[in-house]
Amino acid sequence: MKTFSFVIPTYNRYDLLHQVLYDIYQKCSPVHEVIVVDDCSTEESYTSGLRWWKGNGMLPIRHVRMKENSMFLKASNAGLKRATGDIVCLLSNDVRLHGDVVRETILALEENAKRLIGGRLLDFDTGWNTFKGAPPFWYIEGWMLTTWNTSWKDWGYLDERFAPSDMEDVDISTTAMARGYRLFALPADMTQHLGGQSIGFNPAREAITIANKEKFRRKWIENEK
């Protein structure tokens, strides 16, 4: 049996972390490890809640605390680089699991080993994945991204040029397809994204997304190295 790692980057919001950890405990098997990347959380409820999970023995939790608050992308990479499972799932904390995504992912990779798997495949014009003179860039939405540990390493993890966040999912999906991988979504009823609960949507984030879209255009359309 292939071993399976979850990587969950977090910042405060213990309510979200508790729910997703409980979903993993209740729904998923077997789980090799759950790496919780603490991006310098400040809330006491987060600290005490994570301490409870680490001590209760319900899940094999590894705790990584960042030296400084780096936000989603760098915290994700910190966890991905530490994962030891054969298969590694990058999972946002604002996701509910309604089925055994471990089992379904392993079955999907047994069917076709060259897959990047997630909860939702966007194979249409979303506004962010289109550029003048080019067809839409299909992608797996970034709240769940799963593939082989060796593939994550080979692809260089998430491109930190897109830090702190946004467009990294379009980029890693494009990288995967450029390496001959297919994008694959799990059944829609297995996962539920609660929608930006940890980061939120605001003008400052929109400005980051616009800037990162330009970085993506230069990388993949102008082939800027």
Domains, the chain, ordered by start: 4-220 (3.90.550.10)
Residue 200 pLDDT: 57
pLDDT class for 202, splitting at 50, 70, 90? confident
Residue 68 pLDDT: 93
Average pLDDT, integer, range 62-74: 94
pLDDT class for 48, splitting at 50, 70, 90? very high
Residue 1 pLDDT: 83
Average pLDDT, integer, range 156-183: 96
Average pLDDT, integer, range 129-146: 94
Residue 224 pLDDT: 67
Question: Which residue in the block uniquely carries the two structure tokens 């991988």?
Answer: 181
**Is pLDDT at 51 greater than 80 in this prediction?**
yes
User: Alpha helices, DSSP H only, in the chain?
Assistant: 14-27, 44-56, 72-80, 101-111, 149-155, 168-178, 203-220
Average pLDDT, the chain: 94
Residue 223 pLDDT: 82
> In angstroms, rounded to a whole number, what is the distance separating the alpha carbons of residues 113 and 182?
9
**Is pLDDT at 133 greater than 90 in this prediction?**
no
> In angstroms, rounded to a whole number, what is the distance separating the alpha carbons of residues 139 and 174?
7
> In angstroms, rounded to a whole number, what is the distance separating the alpha carbons of residues 196 and 127?
18
Residue 32 pLDDT: 98
Output the CA–CA distances (angstroms, integers) from residue 27 to 8, 53, 61, 147, in the order listed.
Answer: 16, 16, 16, 19
Average pLDDT, integer, range 31-44: 97
More confident residue, 203 or 151: 151
Residue 180 pLDDT: 98
Residue 225 pLDDT: 58
Average pLDDT, integer, range 146-168: 96
Q: What is the 3-state secondary structure (H, E, C) of 119-182?
A: CCEECCCCCCCCECCECCCCEECCCEEEEEHHHHHHHCCCCHHHCCCCCHHHHHHHHHHHCCCE
Average pLDDT, integer, range 43-49: 96
pLDDT digits (tens, 9 = 90+) for 71-98: 999 999 999 999 999 999 999 999 999 9
Residue 198 pLDDT: 54
